[in-house]
Chains A and B, each alone.
Chain A
Amino acid sequence: MERISRLVGSTLARHLLVAALGMVVVVMALTAVSDFRRFQLAEMACLAIAAGGLTVLTGLNGQLSLGHGALMAVGTYTTALLLPDRDASTPLVLVVLISVCTATLVGALVGVAAARLHGPYLAGATLALAVAVPGLALHFRETLGGEQGIPVVAPPPPGWAEDATYFLTASDLTPRGWIAFLAWSTLILSFLLLANLSHSRVGRRWRAVRDDPVAAELAGIVVGRSRVSAFMVSAAAAGAAGSMLALVVRLAAPGSFTLALSLTLIAAVVLGGLGSLTGALLGAALLTFLPQFVTQIGRDAGLDDVRAAELAPLVYGLVMVLVILLAPGGLFGVIRGALTRRRARRALAARSVEASTSTRPDPDSPPDEQLTDPSGDHRTATTTEGAPR
């Protein structure tokens, strides 16, 4: 009995269970839907992997990056260069790993610079990255293919995967189905690692640096190193996302990595709830499927195609404004915030009944404000500056 409770209490066992369940759901969903939906789902997985990395950086460590699209581009181009044609001999796993490593390396460089910046300066610096990296592709036209980009030849599904699919579903495994499966497997693996980190000593130290760098330093944390490590982890996720994106869209071109992509990632993270992986997944799903859904509704309501297409950005913006107004903690933050607040109120009530001593409120802020959802405030992006108080 105790063994079971200990197993449930173990972070790894809990996360592995969720990952396994997720894998089952993914396989079932991918076999049930059309090939076009598989493509969309694969795109969503790429967005979610990068958003997961970004939510760790912004939500847990308090660093804002407007340049994660650029880090994805690093992953995509690395993959594209390693898979030049059908005879490319590098195993796919190795290609993905090398892409992740390259992005991590770039992330480390950016992270070292970022660790010295905060708030709007950090946003500006990473913004420059988002603008500059696609420009590199145009500059090194010979190797990076310029505006046209580099075509990517995705390797065909291996024999065992085809056999397994036929055995399970009595239908053939399409190349798109295979890539979608790969993208979702990568998503689950990277979320497993990110969740482990978030619940570990490493995650706790990241949060400490986010909430109060000075106090974190006094606790023995080297703040700069902690920030760089968060940036590297986040960049690794972006690299994996980029690598998968190369396989999904079969092209590495600068057009895929506009500033809009970086902003979409931020939007996914904010919509879902900063620092929450579930939130990142929700946000990515919303941003992948909402535009199409809205366009369809527009068409059904009798709008012509152009007008229907114009509806999407409108609704997109509306949703964003509504979430920020009504649920600043994001969709997932709403649930968590309510639970936290109730728990705080109950414990304090129990305490005041028990002790019935008068407690004076914090002179700095009214008590009501203090009880608001911790994930619901906006200070994440701006780190408190380092004067000891």
Chain B
Amino acid sequence: MSKQPTASRPSPGSTGASRVAELELDRVTVRFGGLVALSDAALTVRPHTVHGVIGPNGAGKTTLFNVACGFVRPDEGQILRRGEHLTRLRPSDLPGLGMARTLQGLGLFDRVTVLDNVMIGADRHARTGFWASALAWPTSGREERALRERALGALAELGIADLAPLVAGSLPYPLRKKVALARALVGEPELLLLDEPASGLAADEIDDLGELVRGLTDRMAVLLVEHHMDLVMRICDDITVLDFGRVIAHGPPEQVRNDPAVLEAYLGEDV
């Protein structure tokens, strides 16, 4: 485990400390062999905002996400979480840092129930050790019940509590997507990373998703990678635009929308 910043967070109203970024990528460069996937990329996720990362295919969006999660270690540059340097960040450190991420391919645990999927997401709140589990010690039973309540609460919030006993792999895609989101939310992260949350959803489902994500901002900051330009423009407070691994623009939606560099990058693209 790497060092974990203190859990106490200043209330949004307070001055000074609340300005500390939930996540800051500072001049991050990633090379895969001769290919430069990210070059001097920087972005800052402010507390209680939705931050979008967009860009044409192959612009380095996913690499940027993978750097923020510890899947890819940057060759240069730094990752800061609330002002603290995250050196040697590993994906398994995320829950301890108050972060959660959804995966493009969902990454559901297909052969266990929806409830178990979400309970894994809440695992950060569990303490039961090996021997308490093997002996089914009463404390472990109590903790399991608490975890189950928590997971059911997260499912209910997304309106899918009735799916709890079903095997996750048996569900249709949009429902699986909701389960993946519930699994990320149940850990009560303060920073949520969403990897293409709208892909594969119908128009009305995308609208619901937008509303949901907006509603999350009183509890957490959201960083998302997304192709649906409508959605991004509608729900994001800040947008960072990548092209060929470089940040070509960033700012609020209305500014980014009219940026000549962004228009050029997207020219000829099927969006």
- What residues of chain A have their CB less than 8 Å away from a CB belonging to chain B? 10-12, 15, 193, 196-197, 199-205, 207-208, 210-212, 214-223, 229, 340-341, 343-344, 347-348, 350-351, 357-363, 367, 370-371, 374-375, 377, 388-389
Interface residues of B in 158-199 (CB under 8 A from A): 162-163, 165-167, 169-176, 183, 187
Task: With A196-B135, A202-B130, A220-B95 as known contacts, state yes or no: A370 contacts B103, CB within 8 Å.
Answer: no
- In the bound complex, do residue B69 and residue A388 qualify as a contact, i.e. CB atoms below 8 Å apart? yes
Interface residues of B in 105-145 (CB under 8 A from A): 105, 107-112, 116, 119-121, 123-124, 126, 128, 130, 133-138, 140-141, 143-144
- CB-CB under 8 A from A216, the residues of chain B are 109, 120
- CB-CB under 8 A from B140, the residues of chain A are 200-201
Per a CB cutoff under 8 Å, which of B107, B112, B130 touches A218? B107
Task: With A10-B141, A340-B170, A363-B173 as known contacts, state yes or no: A219 contacts B116, CB within 8 Å.
Answer: no
The 15 sampled A-B contact pairs (Cβ below 8 Å) are A11-B144, A200-B144, A201-B126, A201-B143, A202-B128, A214-B91, A215-B103, A215-B107, A216-B109, A218-B91, A219-B123, A219-B183, A344-B171, A347-B163, A374-B169
Q: How far is B102's CA from A213's CA once the two chains are assembled, in angstroms?
A: 14
- In the bound complex, do residue B69 and residue A11 qualify as a contact, i.e. CB atoms below 8 Å apart? no
- In the bound complex, do residue A375 and residue B111 qualify as a contact, i.e. CB atoms below 8 Å apart? yes
- CB-CB under 8 A from A10, the residues of chain B are 136, 138, 141
- CB-CB under 8 A from A203, the residues of chain B are 133
- In the bound complex, do residue A219 and residue B169 qualify as a contact, i.e. CB atoms below 8 Å apart? no
B255 within 8 A of A: no
- CB-CB under 8 A from A218, the residues of chain B are 69, 91-92, 94, 100-101, 103, 107
Q: How far is B130's CA from A193's CA once the two chains are assembled, in angstroms?
A: 11
Per a CB cutoff under 8 Å, which of A12, A212, A220, A341 touches B136? A12
Taking the closest CB of chain B, its distance from the CB of A102, in whole angstroms, is 19
A-B contact count (CB 8 A): 167
- In the bound complex, do residue B95 and residue A211 qualify as a contact, i.e. CB atoms below 8 Å apart? no
Q: How far is B167's CA from A334's CA once the two chains are assembled, in angstroms?
A: 15
Q: How far is B95's CA from A205's CA once the two chains are assembled, in angstroms?
A: 15
Taking the closest CB of chain B, its distance from the CB of A381, in whole angstroms, is 14
Known interface pairs A218-B94, A220-B93; 5 further A-B residue pairs with C-beta atoms within 8 A, sorted by A's residue number: A10-B141, A205-B120, A218-B91, A367-B172, A374-B170
- In the bound complex, do residue B166 and residue A208 qualify as a contact, i.e. CB atoms below 8 Å apart? no
B104 within 8 A of A: yes
- In the bound complex, do residue B116 and residue A204 qualify as a contact, i.e. CB atoms below 8 Å apart? yes
Task: With A202-B133, A374-B167 as known contacts, state yes or no: A347 contacts B108, CB within 8 Å.
Answer: no
Q: Which residue of A lies closest to B184 (CB)?
A: A218
Q: Which residue of B lies closest to A275 (CB)?
A: B111
- In the bound complex, do residue A212 and residue B116 qualify as a contact, i.e. CB atoms below 8 Å apart? no
Task: With A219-B183, A360-B202 as known contacts, state yes or no: A347 contacts B109, CB within 8 Å.
Answer: no
Taking the closest CB of chain B, its distance from the CB of A61, in whole angstroms, is 12
- CB-CB under 8 A from A362, the residues of chain B are 172-173, 176
- In the bound complex, do residue A370 and residue B170 qualify as a contact, i.e. CB atoms below 8 Å apart? yes
- CB-CB under 8 A from A229, the residues of chain B are 130
- In the bound complex, do residue B167 and residue A340 qualify as a contact, i.e. CB atoms below 8 Å apart? yes
Task: With A211-B110, A362-B172, A367-B172 as known contacts, state yes or no: A197 contacts B92, CB within 8 Å.
Answer: no
- In the bound complex, do residue B112 and residue A204 qualify as a contact, i.e. CB atoms below 8 Å apart? yes
- CB-CB under 8 A from A222, the residues of chain B are 92
Taking the closest CB of chain B, its distance from the CB of A298, in whole angstroms, is 40
- In the bound complex, do residue B167 and residue A219 qualify as a contact, i.e. CB atoms below 8 Å apart? no
- Return the 9 tightest CB-CB contacts between A and B, nearest first: A215-B107, A389-B105, A200-B133, A12-B136, A211-B109, A374-B111, A220-B95, A362-B173, A344-B170
Q: Which residue of A lies closest to B173 (CB)?
A: A362
- CB-CB under 8 A from B135, the residues of chain A are 12, 193, 196
Q: How far is B170's CA from A91's CA once the two chains are assembled, in angstroms?
A: 52
- In the bound complex, do residue A205 and residue B123 qualify as a contact, i.e. CB atoms below 8 Å apart? yes
Q: Which residue of A lies closest to B124 (CB)?
A: A220
- In the bound complex, do residue B172 and residue A360 qualify as a contact, i.e. CB atoms below 8 Å apart? yes
B96 within 8 A of A: yes
- In the bound complex, do residue B96 and residue A207 qualify as a contact, i.e. CB atoms below 8 Å apart? no
Q: How far is B111's CA from A371's CA once the two chains are assembled, in angstroms?
A: 11
